[in-house]
Amino acid sequence: MNFDLTDEQEMIRESLSRFLRDRYDFEARGKIIRSEAGWNPEVWGQLAELGLMAVPFAEAHGGLDGGPTDIMVVMEELGRALVVEPYLPTVVLAGSILQAVGGTVAEELIPQIAGGELVMGLAYAEPRSRYDLFHVETTAEKTGDAYALAGHKSVVLAAPLAGRLIVSARTDGGTRDRDGIGLFLVDPQADGVTVKDYRTIDGFAAGDVILDKAPATLIGTQGEGLALLEMAVDRGIIACAAEMTGLAKRMTELTVDYTRQREQFGVPLSKQQVLQHTMADMFMAGEEMKSMAVRATALADADPEERAKAAAMAKVFIGKTGKFVGEAAVQLHGGMGITEEMAIGHYFMHATMLDTLFGNRDYHQRRYEMLTGLRKDAA
Amino acid sequence: MNFDLTDEQEMIRESLSRFLRDRYDFEARGKIIRSEAGWNPEVWGQLAELGLMAVPFAEAHGGLDGGPTDIMVVMEELGRALVVEPYLPTVVLAGSILQAVGGTVAEELIPQIAGGELVMGLAYAEPRSRYDLFHVETTAEKTGDAYALAGHKSVVLAAPLAGRLIVSARTDGGTRDRDGIGLFLVDPQADGVTVKDYRTIDGFAAGDVILDKAPATLIGTQGEGLALLEMAVDRGIIACAAEMTGLAKRMTELTVDYTRQREQFGVPLSKQQVLQHTMADMFMAGEEMKSMAVRATALADADPEERAKAAAMAKVFIGKTGKFVGEAAVQLHGGMGITEEMAIGHYFMHATMLDTLFGNRDYHQRRYEMLTGLRKDAA
Amino acid sequence: MDLKFSDREEAFRQEVKAFLDEAWPAEKRGSKTEFTRDNYLDWHRKLHARGWIAPAWPEEYGGTGWTPTQRYIFDKECAAADAFPILPFNISMVGPVIYTFGSDEQKERFLPPTLSGDIWWCQGYSEPGAGSDLASLRTRAVRDGDDYIVNGSKTWTTLAQYADWIFCLVRTDPNAGKKQQGISFLLIDMKSPGITVRPIITLGGDHEVNEVFFENVRVPADNLVGQENQGWTYAKFLLTHERSNIAGVHQSWRALDRLKQIAADKDLYGDAPSLMEDADFVRRIAETEIDLTALEFTELRALAREESGGGMGPESSLLKIRGTEIQQRISHMFLDAAGTYGLPFQRELGHKEAPPSNSQVGPDFAVETAARYFNMRKTTIYGGTNEIQRNIIAKMILGL
Amino acid sequence: MDLKFSDREEAFRQEVKAFLDEAWPAEKRGSKTEFTRDNYLDWHRKLHARGWIAPAWPEEYGGTGWTPTQRYIFDKECAAADAFPILPFNISMVGPVIYTFGSDEQKERFLPPTLSGDIWWCQGYSEPGAGSDLASLRTRAVRDGDDYIVNGSKTWTTLAQYADWIFCLVRTDPNAGKKQQGISFLLIDMKSPGITVRPIITLGGDHEVNEVFFENVRVPADNLVGQENQGWTYAKFLLTHERSNIAGVHQSWRALDRLKQIAADKDLYGDAPSLMEDADFVRRIAETEIDLTALEFTELRALAREESGGGMGPESSLLKIRGTEIQQRISHMFLDAAGTYGLPFQRELGHKEAPPSNSQVGPDFAVETAARYFNMRKTTIYGGTNEIQRNIIAKMILGL
């Protein structure tokens, strides 16, 4: 067993960390989330120059041949700085699918991603799907070699920024069948595609995507899209585990600093034993979260069942402990913690939303029970 | 609304409390639980002289015409002093059934109970019934007017002390049918009855009862015993809620006292803010437990569904908070808390066992969900 | 012991219900009435017209003479009808201070508009950097002829943007020995020159609290309540005075009802199982109902002690701690019920700090869930943090 | 980063398994071997014979030279086979103190029997009334010629009833400035005249700990380890030395396995649904598995840091806190699994404090569940309470 990072990974961490400290502080981020665009293409270009967009891809596609561990390193740093740029949807979600599918579509799009020229989104959720990836009401109708999609996709991260979307749609079967789902490439500028854009409450650009005979290209095999989708979403979950670790560690640091500076009744808050114990618990949560992120990362390339179990476990754990750390951090900041004026509240909001993204704690707890055979029923 | 006790109830509380302070301290109790008999008939007689055994019964049967509130008052005091004498099985469990059934059996037995001459037990559980009262494998075969019982009853409180047992047995239907269950009066001295006696881990005399063609008398209507049994057990639960309140309040007092006396690193433990907050939580748990006991007591005579909901709620709540208070009390006593030498550990053990008795927290949580229609499935 | 309502109490409940059916009819219920200055004042005035705006006040000043049980019934029915809870500033805070410690002239001048809503009061207690340590306040009031000149700032001032007047704790003797001494209680017209209000935007974009700055604000000395330098006494009185519904039990029951409706609403789920078919969600609801029942009966017992003259005292800390814990849990369950649609920010807030909101998506109930969950974090912080409430129980009740 | 075991590590695991199949075969597993002095020593000696009794010791004194990962594998396989965990007193406590601070003569005299089990050591640290404040000890040792005369008492002395020798902290200079000064580390033969052992019975009737009284006990000065009055240094060394398996992860996994078997055992339930069909019970198992996984990988990361020379340090407090919390949770799930049959007391303890036990009822696994749940409360108290562990994290790691 070996938990060490390679020298290259340490280099990525350091250069990214330095860049974010210099260019992406709380004030700079505040400007981005309040801007009309909701992201900063210049920052995106600079992150691409650092090689970030190329990390997981094959050299042949202009990538750096990195693996899940490299993504973990990147996501933890992005979490520490609360970066809203669309790395997760572009590189982790869409990137994982393109890489797995390969062929001409990968050859065309991955170099654009790696070069920082293309943002992508993955449209998998629907208004009534809750967190079930197999619940697909959107239909794909085939005419000749082309497909036309009709349906409604919910809360697609980066949808208003994306040059291409990958969309799950059904060529066959009932609403909740596991078979008959395909993944399709859609140009959001095309006729028949409407993006109802908004910002998520934690500051990310996103949108609902309404498809009405939208032209689309199948990627992968018709009817077998679910396995790809599950893989991509598990990769997304594992990346979020690293991101949550970054959030939690930063929240703990900010809280320790704040309570040391802030006096009440003539004594620093940090001298109150009850608050000390809360911070000790926050520290422990961060360490254990990191362990879960490391473990899930190591299993990101394992067979689908092992990967799914590791992702479900990690999601339950970061949901629970992320909520604890976020709530504790706000509580210890007192009134200041719930204003938009201090960073801590923004960390808390994003930590909260990471529990909802890809399925909350209850959902993945249930999923873990089913995957391990602890629970037999389908309810 | 009115939460006041009557003058009579205040009198019962005071005289009982005084008697227990004088005659049932930790040392006296220790002698009883380590004795061969496992109870003290002399104390029982004195409690009867105080009128305790007569509390809930009709004047016609030598009773005091009291109600659930009187039982609440008694049980809270018995809990405070950790009394192991068989009040719950005799007066609350068996007493409730005899009173409800009425007729000659009540006329014969209730005066004996009220006079302190008869101890009784209620044999409802079986090795595989877990907490389901309707799970009855024990059979009752009718020959003429008499019945013969065969089966195995588990963990019958007071079984080795009892002059009579009330036993649930099936005249009809399958193992887990709600119909076909009768309640029977059995003399534990009779042929065909074996009591495998033991002490519960918290010091109460109990036993498994093996029935092999044991002679028995039906009480109540054949096949309709379940409703009576549910009533008696709900009364038992409600009594335990009051008892747990007494335990919790006493544990909080003992812990407050201990931490004030005990110094560590030159300062009383009670000055540590973390321990103060734990004790504040213990206090709150005790207050809320009391509220649940009061509420359930007020509904002890309500229609069966309301009574059942109130009992289930109370059991969930005292299970959860009793565990919290007990564990916290032991933790704050440190090593001394887990020895048999201090009272606190004995309170903790009994509080733990009260969660198991009549069904634990999970069981009654489920029961509450079913009774309120929150949960539709039978699983 | 008898927990049933008496016939008289039952008749009172019917009277309240009848009033609500008229004053706050069905079309206003179910979060359909937005909280605005006008909407709130409309409701305040209806209660005032009925004589029910200040149930706990002495009858001579406009109170109702209700028993605590009646007030409990009133609060419960109002919550069941989704009526706005009455804000504490006029009725539970400054009013009782004025009728207890104010001069006859002040009573005459201020009590009627305080009851009627013609004055909207806000509270000038907390100061930047002071947190729960209220007495460390630094806003100065210096006597100058018939006036005080006030300089300093207050923070966490709820709805100061709507307020006509502010009641303030100010330091009139900076040389007094203990920090609790030398404080005075001053009534200040918000239109006075030198006052500025800065919005504080809270998580999720709400503008509910403010900072209020005083720069050479001239306040007539007639607006001093009670004695100069005795303000801390009045402040403490105010903090312990009105504890009715401190636990928010009625609002929590109402919220659980709405949550169960949402979780069972088949339209939201289509072919998928509803949330009410999810054993884990059901368990969370059931646990909360049980805990809320324990809290409700603890509050009822406390009210009964108050009714029989026992007073509430530090037990109110219990109600505050448990009440806020449960409110937060419920707000988290709503967020979980919203699922993915908890994420979109789509609220029209009308201030520049709010991010752009362009589209309306997802079920109506989901729109506010995240913001509400964030906002509810305040409940364990304001009014003395729950940590401080536990300190109070340890000290005042357990003697530790 | 690579979390798979290397081929070398995999081969080692097979070697351990093969050894266990012989030394601790199937018929001894599944709680079928009672913990007695003889049974324990039998196992201790088998490990000693194989050279595996003290993996963490330097090889020159009898260690194995294993990496932390190998030790982890060894511990895991032993737990999976239900083998007795090796008691810390000889191997993790007094042994390392002797080989680090003892004289050559002491090493020669004590290390071989300490390894072989010919000496059973117990620990004389805690004193009545001192709790986690170890340094406040009052047991005196006064020099008298070539001997010390020891007077005082020690408590919580685990298995003193089996022990041949006790290692003791004693006060040799009562006039030293700080309480940590003037303490010495003394080895005392339990057969010395003047020593008496009083059993302390813990909840559920176990006799595991004792009080040990010293009345004018004469101890040769040769038995002083290191310098007089420097004992606190050795004590601290000992407390931070051996952290292997402090979290009890392997035992907890093994316990969860057994619990799942029990919960699915149809014989226990008949026509009734088994516990594994109870969604709430399943949820509790799943939650515990997930938390235990987080703890296991936190321990593995800590071991890796130790392996690369980083040392473990105060992070061990985390392992202790979480490990004990999980052990307690599991013991409570066993109790819940036992249901009503958790109540009967039916253990043969053979001491007078035990209540009479006359009958054997219920499933075998249920007999010990309540006693074990009670007994496990000690884990968050002994060895520095979990409150103290959190103090350590706050101070040493967070700098608060």
CATH of the domain at B183: 2.40.110.10
The reply to whether B68 and B55 lie within a common domain is yes
Give the whole-angstrom CA distance, residue D309 versus residue A160: 49
Percentage, residues of chain C above pLDDT 90: 77
Q: Name residue C7's beta-bridge partners.
A: none
DSSP strand pairing (A181-186 vs A120-123): unpaired
Element (H, E) at B198: strand B193-200
Q: Name residue A261's beta-bridge partners.
A: none
Is B81 part of any domain? Answer: yes
Question: Residue type for D73, please?
Answer: I
- pLDDT tens digits, residue range B74-86? 999 999 999 999 9
- Which among D4, D29, D21, D16 is positioned nearest to D73, based on CA atoms? D16
Instruction: For residues B111-126, give the mean pLDDT.
Output: 98
Which residues of chain A lie closer than 8 angstroms to C335, CB-CB? 352, 356
Which residues of chain A lie closer than 8 angstroms to D391, CB-CB? 273, 276-277, 280
Q: Are B252 and B279 in contact (CB under 8 A)?
A: yes
Q: How confident is the model at residue D4 (pLDDT cuts 50, 70, 90)?
A: confident
- Which among C307, C250, C301 is positioned nearest to C68, based on CA atoms? C307
Q: Do D342 and B206 touch (CB under 8 A)?
A: no
Q: How confident is the model at residue D308 (pLDDT cuts 50, 70, 90)?
A: confident
- A212 pLDDT exceeds 80? yes
Mutate which of A265, A272, A274 to disrupt the B interface (most B C-beta within 10 Å)?
Answer: A274
Please tell me the predicted confidence (pLDDT) of residue D135: 85
The reply to whether A135 and A258 lie within a common domain is no
Instruction: For residues A102-116, give the mean pLDDT.
Output: 97
Give the whole-angstrom CA distance, residue C128 versus residue C107: 31
Please tell me the predicted confidence (pLDDT) of residue C237: 84
Lowest mean pLDDT among A178-182, B100-104, D30-34: D30-34
Is B2 part of any domain? Answer: no
Give the whole-angstrom CA distance, residue C194 versus residue B93: 74
- C48 pLDDT exceeds 60? yes
Q: Which residues contact C6 (CB under 8 A, 6 or more apart)?
A: B1
For C:280-319, CB contacts with B below 8 A are 282-283, 285-287, 289-291, 293-298, 300-301, 304, 308, 315, 318
Is A378 part of any domain? Answer: no
Is A170 part of any domain? Answer: yes
Specify the number of domains making up chain B: 3
Question: Residue type for B147, please?
Answer: Y
For B:355-374, CB contacts with D below 8 A are 356-357, 360, 362, 365-366
The number of angstroms, rounded, from the C-alpha of D165 to the middle of its chain's C-alpha atoms is 17
C170 min Cα distance to partner chain A (Å): 18
The reply to whether B352 and B256 lie within a common domain is yes
Element (H, E) at B365: helix B361-371
Which residues of chain A lie closer than 8 angstroms to C352, CB-CB? 34
Say which DSSP state C252 is in: H
Is B145 part of any domain? Answer: yes
Cβ neighbours, 10 Å, residue B146: 11
Q: Name residue A170's beta-bridge partners.
A: A139, A181
Q: Higher model confidence: residue A77 or residue D364? A: A77
Give the whole-angstrom CA distance, residue C85 versus residue C33: 13
Q: What angle do CA D201, D207, D209 make, to 5 degrees?
A: 85
- A113 pLDDT exceeds 90? yes
Please tell me the predicted confidence (pLDDT) of residue B224: 87
Q: How confident is the model at residue C131 (pLDDT cuts 50, 70, 90)?
A: confident
Instruction: For residues A239-254, give the mean pLDDT.
Output: 98
- pLDDT tens digits, residue range B151-175? 999 999 999 999 999 999 999 999 9
Which residues of chain D lie closer than 8 angstroms to A281, CB-CB? 390
Structural domains of chain C, ranges and CATH numbers in brackets: 7-86 (no CATH), 121-229 (2.40.110.10), 247-396 (1.20.140.10)
Nearest CB to C1; choose among B4, B252, B374: B4
B273 min Cα distance to partner chain A (Å): 6
Give the highest mean pLDDT range of A242-256, C59-73, D171-185.
Answer: A242-256
The reply to whether A200 and A261 lie within a common domain is no
Nearest CB to A128; choose among C132, C205, C269: C269
Element (H, E) at A217: strand A205-219
The torsion of the CA quartet D43, D45, D49, D50, rounded to 10 degrees, works out to 30
Cβ–Cβ contact C66 with A under 8 A: no
Give the whole-angstrom CA distance, residue D205 versus residue A300: 49
Which chain B residue has its CA at the smallest distance from C3's CA?
Answer: B1
Long-range contacts of A8-16 (CB under 8 A, 24+ apart): A8/A70, A9/A69, A9/A70, A9/A73, A12/A50, A12/A51, A12/A52, A12/A55, A12/A70, A12/A73, A12/A74, A13/A73, A13/A76, A13/A77, A15/A50, A16/A47, A16/A50, A16/A52, A16/A73, A16/A74, A16/A77, A16/A78
- D356 pLDDT exceeds 70? no
User: Read out DSSP for D197-250?
Assistant: EEEEEBTTS-EEEEEEEEEEEEEEGGGEESSTTBHHHHHHHHHHH--TTTT-HH
Instruction: For residues A28-42, give the mean pLDDT.
Output: 94
Phi then psi for residue D142, to 5 deg, are -115, 130
Is B256 part of any domain? Answer: yes
- Which among A129, A125, A315, A279 is positioned nearest to A206, based on CA atoms? A125
Say which DSSP state D134 is in: G
CATH number (domain holding residue B79) = 1.10.540.10
The reply to whether A24 and A75 lie within a common domain is yes
Say which DSSP state A302 is in: S
Question: Residue type for B144, please?
Answer: G
Q: Higher model confidence: residue D274 or residue B379? A: D274
Q: Higher model confidence: residue B13 or residue D312? A: B13
* Average of per-residue pLDDT values in chain D: 92
Q: How confident is the model at residue A378 (pLDDT cuts 50, 70, 90)?
A: very low
Q: How confident is the model at residue C356 (pLDDT cuts 50, 70, 90)?
A: low
The reply to whether A36 and A159 lie within a common domain is no
Please tell me the predicted confidence (pLDDT) of residue B2: 81
Q: Higher model confidence: residue A35 or residue A89? A: A89
The reply to whether B128 and B97 lie within a common domain is no
Q: How many CB pairs under 8 A join B and C?
A: 122
Q: Are A97 and A164 in contact (CB under 8 A)?
A: no
The reply to whether A248 and A340 lie within a common domain is yes
Return the half-sphere exposure (C-beta side, CA atoms, 13 A cut-off) of residue C291. Answer: 23
Phi then psi for residue B101, to 5 deg, are -75, -40
Q: Which residue has the tokens 């990974």?
A: A9
Element (H, E) at D79: helix D68-80
Token duo for residue D345: 């007391």
The reply to whether A248 and A179 lie within a common domain is no
Which residues of chain A lie closer than 8 angstroms to B379, CB-CB? 377, 379
Q: Are D229 and B367 in contact (CB under 8 A)?
A: no
- A64 pLDDT exceeds 60? yes
- pLDDT tens digits, residue range B336-352? 999 999 999 999 999 99
Q: Are A294 and A239 in contact (CB under 8 A)?
A: no
Please tell me the predicted confidence (pLDDT) of residue C311: 64
- pLDDT tens digits, residue range D34-47? 899 999 999 999 99
Instruction: For residues C359-379, give the mean pLDDT.
Output: 92
**Which partners does chain D have (≥3 C-beta pairs < 8 Å)?**
A, B, C
Percentage, residues of chain A above pLDDT 70: 99
Q: How confident is the model at residue D315 (pLDDT cuts 50, 70, 90)?
A: confident
- D269 pLDDT exceeds 50? yes
- pLDDT tens digits, residue range B246-282? 999 999 999 999 999 999 888 999 999 999 999 999 9
Is A72 part of any domain? Answer: yes
- D49 pLDDT exceeds 90? yes
Give the whole-angstrom CA distance, residue D232 versus residue D241: 14
Alpha-helical runs (H) found in chain A = 7-23, 26-34, 41-49, 68-81, 87, 95-101, 103-114, 225-261, 273-298, 304-333, 343-356, 361-371
Give the whole-angstrom CA distance, residue B355 versus residue B109: 30
The catalytic residue among D77, D127, D242, D299 is D242
The reply to whether A156 and A131 lie within a common domain is yes
Listed residues A118, A152, A169: the one ending a domain? A118
Q: Are B321 and B289 in contact (CB under 8 A)?
A: yes
Phi then psi for residue D304, to 5 deg, are -65, -40
- pLDDT tens digits, residue range B202-243? 999 999 999 999 999 999 998 889 999 999 999 999 999 999
For A:192-251, CB contacts with C below 8 A are 196-203, 206-208
D396 min Cα distance to partner chain B (Å): 18
Please tell me the predicted confidence (pLDDT) of residue B378: 44
- B62 pLDDT exceeds 50? yes
Is B234 part of any domain? Answer: yes
A341 min Cα distance to partner chain C (Å): 8
Which chain B residue has its CA at the smallest distance from A271's CA?
Answer: B273
Q: Do B331 and D273 touch (CB under 8 A)?
A: no
Which chain A residue has its CA at the smallest distance from C129's CA?
Answer: A262
- A100 pLDDT exceeds 70? yes
* Average of per-residue pLDDT values in chain C: 92
Token duo for residue C387: 């940590």
Listed residues A189, A224, A259: the one ending a domain? A224
* Average of per-residue pLDDT values in chain A: 96
Give the whole-angstrom CA distance, residue A273 versus residue A279: 10
- pLDDT tens digits, residue range D83-127? 999 999 999 999 999 999 999 999 999 999 999 999 999 999 999
pTM for the model stands at 0.96
Three-state SS for A141? Answer: strand
Please tell me the predicted confidence (pLDDT) of residue C243: 62
Nearest CB to A272; choose among B273, B377, B379: B273
Which residues of chain C lie closer than 8 angstroms to D280, CB-CB? 279, 283
For D:348-387, CB contacts with A below 8 A are 387
The reply to whether A83 and A158 lie within a common domain is no
Give the whole-angstrom CA distance, residue B222 versus residue B230: 16
What is the extent of the structural domain holding A50? 7-118
Q: How many CB pairs under 8 A join A and D?
A: 118
Listed residues A167, A194, A224: the one ending a domain? A224
Question: Residue type for A173, please?
Answer: G
Instruction: For residues A208-219, give the mean pLDDT.
Output: 97
* Average of per-residue pLDDT values in chain B: 96
Token duo for residue A299: 């299993």
Lowest mean pLDDT among B16-30, B124-138, C58-72: C58-72
Cβ neighbours, 10 Å, residue B209: 28
Give the whole-angstrom CA distance, residue C264 versus residue C285: 12
The reply to whether B356 and B277 lie within a common domain is yes
Q: Do B196 and D279 touch (CB under 8 A)?
A: no
Complex ipTM more than 0.90, yes or no: yes
Give the whole-angstrom CA distance, residue B248 versus residue C336: 34
Q: How confident is the model at residue A189 (pLDDT cuts 50, 70, 90)?
A: very high
Please tell me the predicted confidence (pLDDT) of residue B379: 40
CATH number (domain holding residue B265) = 1.20.140.10
Q: Are C63 and C10 in contact (CB under 8 A)?
A: no
- D209 pLDDT exceeds 70? yes
**Which partners does chain C have (≥3 C-beta pairs < 8 Å)?**
A, B, D
Q: How confident is the model at residue A379 (pLDDT cuts 50, 70, 90)?
A: very low
